[in-house]
A and B are shown apart, each in its own frame.
Chain A
Amino acid sequence: MTPLLDVRHLAVSLPGADGSPLPVIHDATLHVGRGEIVGIAGESGSGKSMTAQALLGLLPENAQVSGSAVLDGETELVGLDERGWQGVRGVRIAMVFQDATAALHPMLTVGRQLTEHLRHHLGLDRRGAERRALELLDRVRIPGGRGALRTYPHQLSGGMRQRVAIASALACEPELLIADEPTTALDVTVQAGILELFDELRRESDLSVLFITHDLGVLSALTTRAYVFYAGRVMESGPTGELLLRPRHPYTAALLRARPHADDSWEVRGGTAAEAQPNGSKRPLPMTTIPGSAVTPATAPPGCPFAPRCGYTEDGCTSEVPAMTAVASGHHVACRVLPDLTEVPG
């Protein structure tokens, strides 16, 4: 069966200050299956948000996009014109933004923001759209019914605003939901509620989600598979439990060790707390930072972009971009060395 979203060799560049193209994503290949929550993890500047924007055609007009992104085995997204995108956005792929406070229009009521695309895409009349909006509020657990439709975003709490944004994204029953760090701007307690909501939505309606986050805890709580991005490239991909418990890429391992409280156990689907160490051992490792600073796709050196910060480099690392190789079923790593990561580099 073809995956719902099949992205192959997606590359994006934006014109720099001098007009020459600056790459923001190199060769990203990923797929999202039906009813699956797939994670994209990475530091800021790693190209994860750009991937989301590319998949909705929201990049600046002067962006150059190549490769392919096929939705549902039939619709090629790369190269769509504005009219084509308008038939995809909101209806087939919807997006939840990082900060709902910024993503909701401050001068329009919640009801208006929930119904405007319903009316446009589904051709509902005012009353039908309102009925549908009430169902949506119910679905994202917002109390208040009709009264809630008449409120303005500033009258709601941060968590409620994000629920409104999620309801708006779900309005036209999209096949794929892209969530770009939807919990980052929220308090930890509120965050938990939103994560729970995503999980409920997935169980109830078989929703497919591409969930972008920099929080490995969120990744482990919600996603079944994940892609680790660095400098606009996919470094490692595989089942989330595998990635977090037995990472094979030095970058993934370094990310895991850089987590505060690295001795806490993961709540990994199907994993057990006892083996919850990034190196598979039961001995807690000290928290370490990754030496050097993150490179952006534009400043990445030739070869493996992580090579300058990696403790396991060999000769070829700085000259040749490593290809994705399978290390286990569904687990791929872009590293030519594939070191034994249970040994902390000296």
Chain B
Amino acid sequence: MRGRTGRPLRSRLFHAPLARLLLRRLATTVVLLFGVTVLTFTLIQLVPGDSMTASLSETALNDPSVVAAYRAKWGLDEPLITQYAIYVGNLLQGDLGVSRQTSRSVLGDLMTYVPATLEIAIPAMVLSVVLGTGIGLYAALRHGRRGDHVVRVGSLLGLSTPPFWLALVALYVFFYLLGVAPSGGRLSSWITPPPRVTGMITVDALLAGEWMIWWDAVQHLVLPVAVLTCLTVAALVRFVRSAMLEVLDQDYVRAARAKGLPTFTVVRRHVLRAGLVPVITVSGLAFASLLSGTVLVEQIFSWPGVGQYAFRAASGLDLPAVLGVSLFVAVVYTLVNLMVDLLYGVIDPRIRLS
């Protein structure tokens, strides 16, 4: 006989209440993304003078046929509502305009820069969540004792360290003094990048079976990932520690101990689960901010990521690129929020079943 409580984990994760939650959250996500397009469109209207002069280079502006084509494409002679409809229509087809600086489509630019950012943001995030949760939980369990103090001082140091300084020190020590790390960039200059599939060199190298390239790419990843991890962990640890301390003081933890369960079981099954809810919130925000690019760290490690692209677009008054990046960042935050909401549902039945 098969009891229903014995269903495998997979079917329990994808059961009806969770699917309903997913649908509800997807609906709100669509509405949010729609709102984001209204915002970016408003930004275009707010640009002093004409969005066209901010979007086209000077030589292009002097060519009447280019100007006419541009006006026709974006419907600049139409009423605002129609312009917005055209704007959204173009967005839906993946047309974010052409960057003034790179003279390439903004979407194409993003496809180059985003994978570079993903390649450092994802490992940094995974490491941060694992280390942050582990260290924060450890500090909470050692509350008021030496281990706790060490963790607290360490995280305070991490939080008050400027990212660029840490990046510079890391380069100075590991590249200049020890010579064990490359100076920056994604690959050594003498190596030809693997055929582009995902845009993430480590993944593409693996797909191509190029172990040498993969190893070189990994070596280039280590320092930027380590620096980003240090900074994110420092923030997470403080948060996890206070969240876990709060949980440790709950009656249900005392009740679990009163059942005679081993400490390890109490912590893993009762404390960690409840403490994860707030941790997910903060981790989501941290991940979104890593994905939106970390300008200073990317700059120091000559890492061609979203942060660098955004910085150059802004300083060069490259309107289409700025809008593209803004849209990307907004989409990232919205999707990460969606993920966070779904994770809440997976962890907390009160959210899933409400």
Interface residues of A (CB under 8 A from B): 56, 58, 82, 85-91, 94-95, 97, 99, 102-109, 111, 116-117, 120-121, 126-127, 130, 146, 149-150, 152, 154-155, 165, 168, 172
Report yes or no: A149 in contact with B251, Cβ–Cβ below 8 A. no
Interface residues of B (CB under 8 A from A): 3-6, 250-252, 254-263, 265, 269-270, 273-274, 347-350, 353
Chain B contacts for A121, CB-based, 8 A? 260
B127 to chain A, nearest CB (A): 26
Q: Given A116-B269, A126-B6, A130-B3, are A168 and B259 also a contact pair (CB < 8 Å)? A: yes
Report yes or no: A107 in contact with B263, Cβ–Cβ below 8 A. no
Report yes or no: A130 in contact with B5, Cβ–Cβ below 8 A. yes
Report yes or no: A58 in contact with B258, Cβ–Cβ below 8 A. yes
Among A99, A105, A111, A155, residue most surrounded by chain B Cβ atoms (within 10 Å): A105
Q: Which chain A residue lies CB-closest to B257? A: A58
Report yes or no: A116 in contact with B261, Cβ–Cβ below 8 A. yes
Top 9 nearest A-B pairs by Cβ distance?
A90-B260, A89-B260, A102-B251, A117-B259, A90-B259, A103-B255, A152-B349, A103-B251, A105-B252
**Can you identify 17 A-B contacts, CB atoms within 8 angstroms?**
A89-B258, A89-B259, A90-B258, A94-B259, A102-B251, A103-B251, A106-B348, A106-B350, A107-B273, A107-B349, A107-B350, A111-B5, A120-B265, A127-B3, A165-B255, A168-B255, A172-B260
Report yes or no: A91 in contact with B260, Cβ–Cβ below 8 A. yes
B169 to chain A, nearest CB (A): 39
Q: Which chain A residue lies CB-closest to B250? A: A102
CA distance A107 to B275 in the complex (A): 11
Q: Which chain A residue lies CB-closest to B348? A: A107
CA distance A120 to B262 in the complex (A): 9
B140 to chain A, nearest CB (A): 14
Report yes or no: A105 in contact with B256, Cβ–Cβ below 8 A. yes
Known: A105-B274, A130-B5, A154-B349. 13 other contacts (CB 8 A): A87-B260, A95-B255, A97-B255, A102-B250, A103-B252, A105-B270, A117-B261, A120-B261, A121-B260, A130-B3, A146-B3, A152-B349, A155-B353
A144 to chain B, nearest CB (A): 13
**Contact among B261, B265, B347 with A107 in the assembled complex (CB-CB below 8 Å):** B347
B246 to chain A, nearest CB (A): 13
Chain B contacts for A102, CB-based, 8 A? 250-252
Q: Which chain B residue lies CB-closest to A94? A: B258
Q: Which chain B residue lies CB-closest to A104? A: B252
Chain B contacts for A109, CB-based, 8 A? 349
Chain B contacts for A126, CB-based, 8 A? 6
Q: Which chain B residue lies CB-closest to A90? A: B260
**Contact among B252, B254, B255, B261 with A86 in the assembled complex (CB-CB below 8 Å):** B261
Report yes or no: A108 in contact with B350, Cβ–Cβ below 8 A. no
Q: Which chain B residue lies CB-closest to A95? A: B258
Chain B contacts for A95, CB-based, 8 A? 255, 258
Q: Given A102-B250, A105-B252, A126-B6, are A56 and B349 also a contact pair (CB < 8 Å)? A: no
Chain B contacts for A168, CB-based, 8 A? 255, 259
**Contact among A88, A91, A108 with B269 in the assembled complex (CB-CB below 8 Å):** A108
Chain A contacts for B347, CB-based, 8 A? 107
CA distance A167 to B258 in the complex (A): 14
Report yes or no: A56 in contact with B6, Cβ–Cβ below 8 A. no
Q: Given A105-B270, A105-B274, A107-B273, are A120 and B260 also a contact pair (CB < 8 Å)? A: yes
B232 to chain A, nearest CB (A): 26
Report yes or no: B273 in contact with A149, Cβ–Cβ below 8 A. no
Q: Which chain B residue lies CB-closest to A149? A: B5
Chain B contacts for A88, CB-based, 8 A? 260
Chain A contacts for B350, CB-based, 8 A? 106-107, 152, 154
Q: Which chain B residue lies CB-closest to A102? A: B251
A175 to chain B, nearest CB (A): 13
**Contact among A97, A116, A152, A172 with B353 in the assembled complex (CB-CB below 8 Å):** A152
Chain A contacts for B274, CB-based, 8 A? 105-107
Chain B contacts for A94, CB-based, 8 A? 258-259
Report yes or no: B256 in contact with A150, Cβ–Cβ below 8 A. no
B352 to chain A, nearest CB (A): 9
Chain B contacts for A108, CB-based, 8 A? 269-270, 273
Report yes or no: B259 in contact with A116, Cβ–Cβ below 8 A. yes
Chain B contacts for A56, CB-based, 8 A? 258
CA distance A121 to B259 in the complex (A): 9
Among B258, B263, B274, B353, residue most surrounded by chain A Cβ atoms (within 10 Å): B258
**Contact among B254, B349, B353 with A58 in the assembled complex (CB-CB below 8 Å):** B254
CA distance A127 to B255 in the complex (A): 24
Q: Which chain A residue lies CB-closest to B255? A: A103
Chain A contacts for B259, CB-based, 8 A? 89-90, 94, 116-117, 168
Chain B contacts for A91, CB-based, 8 A? 260
Chain A contacts for B251, CB-based, 8 A? 97, 99, 102-103
B220 to chain A, nearest CB (A): 41
Chain B contacts for A105, CB-based, 8 A? 252, 255-256, 270, 273-274
Chain B contacts for A82, CB-based, 8 A? 263
Report yes or no: B255 in contact with A106, Cβ–Cβ below 8 A. no
Chain A contacts for B260, CB-based, 8 A? 85-91, 117, 120-121, 172
CA distance A88 to B255 in the complex (A): 14
B247 to chain A, nearest CB (A): 10
Report yes or no: A150 in contact with B4, Cβ–Cβ below 8 A. yes
Q: Which chain B residue lies CB-closest to A150? A: B5
